[in-house]
Amino acid sequence: HVYVVVLNSSSWRIYEGATPLEVPAGPGDWIIALSHMGYGVKQGTSIKKTIVVTIRGVVSGPSPGLKPYIVIKGSGYTVCPEEKVVTAGGSETKYSEALVEKYKVAERRIAAVEDYFMLEVGYRG
């Protein structure tokens, strides 16, 4: 089950359904797909104010109870809880596509992160 929020600087709409879910959006719109297990973001045109997006839509307040959520500032965004890569040695670093692109996915499982269920992906070299 997925919730898709389509937004721009003046309005937002939320859609709910099963994946794959096709939604109407303009070329400059942000498209945020959220579920209880993860997210996907298509960045849009820069937005001047800070916007917080949850599976219920755009909310006010800096830290909503529903996770995951996306905070949009300008042309960038952050994900909460923050995604981390943990090495076999136990060190942690912030997740990025460039960091894991040379590895293959070894496993996927559901894990509790800050008391919320999220998708955990294991990589192999």
Q: What is the pLDDT of residue 8?
A: 93
Q: What is the pLDDT of residue 45?
A: 96
Token pair of 67 as six digits: 């996770």
Q: Could you tell me if 19 and 44 lie in one domain?
A: yes
CA-angle at 54, arms to 49 and 60, nearest 5°: 45
Q: How many domains does the chain have?
A: 2
Q: Could you tell me if 33 and 50 lie in one domain?
A: yes
Q: Look up the domain containing 120 and give its range.
A: 84-124
Q: What is the pLDDT of residue 113?
A: 67
Coil, helix or strand at residue 59:
strand
Query: One digit per residue, pLDDT tens: the chain, 125 residues?
Result: 899 999 998 999 999 998 888 999 999 999 999 987 778 899 999 999 999 998 889 987 666 777 788 999 999 999 887 777 887 788 888 877 788 888 888 888 887 766 666 678 888 88
